[in-house]
Amino acid sequence: MRSGEAFGVVPVDKPEGPTSHDVVARARAALGTRRIGHTGTLDPFASGLLLLCVGKATRLAEFLTGLDKTYQAVAVLGVATDTEDREGKIVSTSEAWRALSRRQVSEALSAQRGASLQTPPRFSAKKIGGEPAHRRARRGEEVRLAPRTVVVHVLELLDFSPPQVRFEVTCSSGTYVRSLARDLGARLGVGAHLSSLRRTAIGHHVVEHAIPPSALEDQDRVRQAWIDPVRALDHLPSIRLAPSEAADVRLGRTVRIAAEDADTAVALEGDRLVSVGSVGAGVFRPRKVLDD
């Protein structure tokens, strides 16, 4: 499906190994366009759902990036690493996990639900003075990252096979699951790191509907998985435009509309996405015009 025919979102199931950028590069070659971006990086050792925005849909990425994410993950108790995952150097070990019960582990996970301040990993893409923190950390420099508010909606123990803890988490965008593993180890007093991570959902988009990167060359598979812009943004409130109103919005003009206030809303003419904007005091203000 070439970008000249349509624009939309392709859900891809990234395997362990390649970077998110590797998947984007493959999609650019397969789909014949440079205009492809994703809506949330996965580390190379992680797998799961990437939403690739194709063509003009790259302008919609910001409205998908902020969606809640769901993951299944495995933490290993008793071993802490400098990167908080299996890729790092071991910084401490403990055998105290042998005395832990399933109940203690479950309660330690439950204690991390809700809103809290989370300190990002030193080895992360968070920038300090315009430079990713992981670069400074690899040079041996001191890295201090300010904690930020994250929200953990769901955090459930799926299996406890000591020292491995398999859990599922649904959290706000920007939450570091490896930091949840780190904090689990700290709460239990044994240390821990993340050994496996799989993203299963972004908002209501699920990995079961995604295709592997190898299927990007298959236009039929891409077409079957394709998410049109209206469906991609159906988590946002929508307003309906008459033809004359749609014509004004396409020119970037505001229009009066009978709709509830919304910081972000999609404007439709029939089944076509015309614009993304805001509604206030009975006026729709286009922010991005997608339909020429």
Report the distance separating Cα 135 and Cα 81, nearest Å.
Answer: 17
Q: Which of 176, 197, 218 is the last residue of a domain?
A: 197
Same domain (yes/no): 213, 254: no
Residues in the chain: 292
Question: Does residue 210 sit in the same domain as residue 243?
Answer: no
Could you tell me the CATH number of the domain that includes residue 16? 3.30.2350.10
Query: What digits encode the pLDDT tens for the residues 64-117?
Result: 999 999 999 999 999 999 999 999 999 999 999 999 999 999 999 999 999 999
Which structure tokens are listed for 127? 């920038």
- Note if 291 is an active site residue: no
Q: Please enumerate in sequence order all residues whose Cβ is within 8 A of that of 242, keeping only pairs 6 or more positions apart, or say none.
A: 269
Listed in sequence order, the residues at least 6 apart from 196 whose beta carbon sits closer than 8 Å to its beta carbon are 45, 73, 74, 86
Tell me: do 155 and 191 sit in the same domain.
Answer: yes
Instruction: Average the pLDDT over 269-274 and give the result.
Output: 95
pLDDT for res 131: 63
Q: Would you say residue 3 lies in a domain?
A: no
Give a yes or no: residue 96 inside a domain.
Answer: yes
pLDDT per residue as tens digits for the range 14-60:
999 999 999 999 999 999 999 999 888 898 999 999 999 999 999 99
Catalytic residue (one of 13, 43, 85, 183): 43
Query: What pLDDT, on a 0 to 100 scale, did the predictor assign at position 86?
Result: 94
Q: Specify if 1 maps to a domain.
A: no
Q: Indicate if 23 and 141 belong to the same structural domain.
A: no
Q: What is the pLDDT of residues 198-228, one digit of tens each?
A: 999 999 999 999 999 999 999 999 999 999 9
Task: Answer whether residue 2 is part of any domain.
Answer: no
